């Protein structure tokens, strides 16, 4: 297993071309946030925008529209009850993130199934939060079939969600067992923990960073949005995913030097500065 290093992050975050437009940096669509969990999709959106996604569209419940536009007006919003608009937002995306605050209602199930049926193989899909809970109802051997194009899917479970998905008890989540489950599922698995591990096809990474101050609601949503933004503008591979995981914890560790709790929104606010720092080293 390879330890993620700062040098890897420098290879991923590149200078932007002088002649650029927003379409060069990814069209990202996020799906989540029911009436009770709007904060999750807003935090995912915030990190996605601040990490440089060119165009960000959010499919969410209508009560979240005004708060989302107030907090992050750079993002566009679609009512998740309007399936014609939902389909268009999915169709035009390069990268899709589903799950933060999605919930487990019938609407959530319909949205997830609709997404899995409509997604094209070249569109990268990140599944987080509630989407993982819904997927866990499917057996491990049938997950690849459910995902349809697992080679372009990223699953971001914490250890309990991974237990539900993989059926591997937390105490048995060894590198060998996790890699075996990944080979059956076929996607890239980001197992979030004190030292997050990434399992991809014939490749494994471990994140050396992270701290207890990051153990607060919204940290995972922020990471999911960051991964989506990175896949939207940098090469779509496990190295880019590893760079996003490292940067997330790097900023968290820096904030933990002075903050008892690392607020996810404060972490997101630091993304442009830190990405500029790495850009200037190229």
Can you give the pLDDT at residue 161? 97
At residue 36's C-alpha, the angle toward residues 33 and 38, to 5°, is 35
Categorize the per-residue pLDDT at 248 as very low, low, confident or very high, splitting at 50, 70 and 90.
very high
Q: Where is average pLDDT lowest: 17-21, 67-71, 99-103, 144-148?
A: 17-21
Token pair belonging to 88: 């268009």
State the pLDDT confidence band at 22, using cuts at 50, 70 and 90.
confident
pLDDT over 80 at 151, yes or no: yes
Residues 37-53 pLDDT 10s: 999 999 999 999 999 99
Q: What is the pLDDT of residues 223-243, one digit of tens each?
A: 999 999 999 999 999 999 999
Percent of the chain with pLDDT over 90: 95
> What pLDDT, on the 0 to 100 scale, is given for residue 76?
97
Residue 162: predicted pLDDT: 97
Where are the domains positioned within the chain? 2-279
The predicted pLDDT at position 218 comes to 97
Computed over every residue of the chain, the mean pLDDT equals 96
pLDDT at 123: 98
What is the pLDDT, as a whole number, of residue 23? 86
Q: What is the mean pLDDT of residues 14-18?
A: 91
**Residues whose CB is less than 8 angstroms from the CB of residue 197 and which lie 6 or more positions away in sequence, other chains included:** 1, 175, 178, 190, 191, 204, 205, 206, 207
Mean pLDDT of 149-176: 96
Q: Which residues pair with 78 in a beta bridge?
A: 59
Indicate if the pLDDT at residue 282 is higher than 80. no
CA 281 to chain centre: 26
Residue pLDDT, tens place only, 171-197: 999 999 999 999 999 999 999 999 999
Return the minimum-mean-pLDDT range out of 19-23, 96-100, 159-163: 19-23
The pLDDT assigned to 223 comes to 98
Query: In this prediction, what percent of the chain has a pLDDT beyond 70?
Result: 100
Q: How many CB atoms lie within 10 A of CB 198?
A: 27
Taking residues 132-146, report their average pLDDT: 94
Q: Is the pLDDT of residue 268 over 90?
A: yes
Backbone φ and ψ for 78, nearest 5 degrees, come out as -130, 140
Average pLDDT for 145-165:
96
Which pTM value belongs to this model?
Answer: 0.97
Fold of domain 2-279:
3.40.1190
The pLDDT of residue 281 is 82
């Amino acid at each position: 297993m390879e330890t993620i290093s700062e040098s890897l992050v420098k290879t991923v975050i590149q200078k932007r071309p002088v002649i650029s437009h927003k379409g060069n940096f990814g069209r990202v669509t996020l799906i989540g946030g029911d009436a009770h969990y709007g904060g999750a999709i807003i935090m995912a959106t915030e990190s996605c925008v601040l990490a440089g996604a060119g165009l960000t569209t959010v499919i969410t419940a209508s009560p979240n529209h005004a708060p989302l536009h107030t907090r992050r007006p750079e993002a566009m919003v679609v009512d998740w009850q309007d399936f014609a608009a939902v389909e268009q937002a999915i169709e035009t995306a390069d990268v899709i993130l589903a799950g933060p605050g999605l919930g487990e209602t019938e609407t959530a199930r319909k949205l997830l199934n609709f997404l899995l049926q409509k997604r094209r193989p070249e569109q990268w899909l990140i599944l987080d939060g509630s989407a993982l809970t819904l997927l866990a109802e499917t057996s491990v051997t049938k997950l690849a079939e459910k995902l349809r194009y697992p080679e372009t899917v990223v699953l971001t479970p914490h250890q309990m969600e991974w237990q539900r998905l993989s059926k591997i008890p937390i105490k048995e989540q060894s590198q060998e067992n996790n890699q075996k489950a990944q080979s059956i599922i076929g996607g890239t698995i980001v197992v979030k923990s004190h030292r997050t591990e990434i399992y991809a096809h014939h490749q494994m990474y471990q994140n050396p960073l992270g701290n207890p101050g990051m153990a607060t609601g919204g940290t995972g949503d922020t990471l999911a949005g960051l991964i989506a933004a990175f896949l939207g503008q940098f090469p779509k591979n496990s190295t880019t995913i590893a760079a996003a995981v490292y940067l997330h914890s790097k900023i968290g560790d820096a904030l933990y030097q002075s903050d008892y709790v690392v607020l996810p929104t404060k972490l997101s606010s630091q993304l442009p500065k830190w990405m500029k720092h790495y850009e200037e080293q190229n």
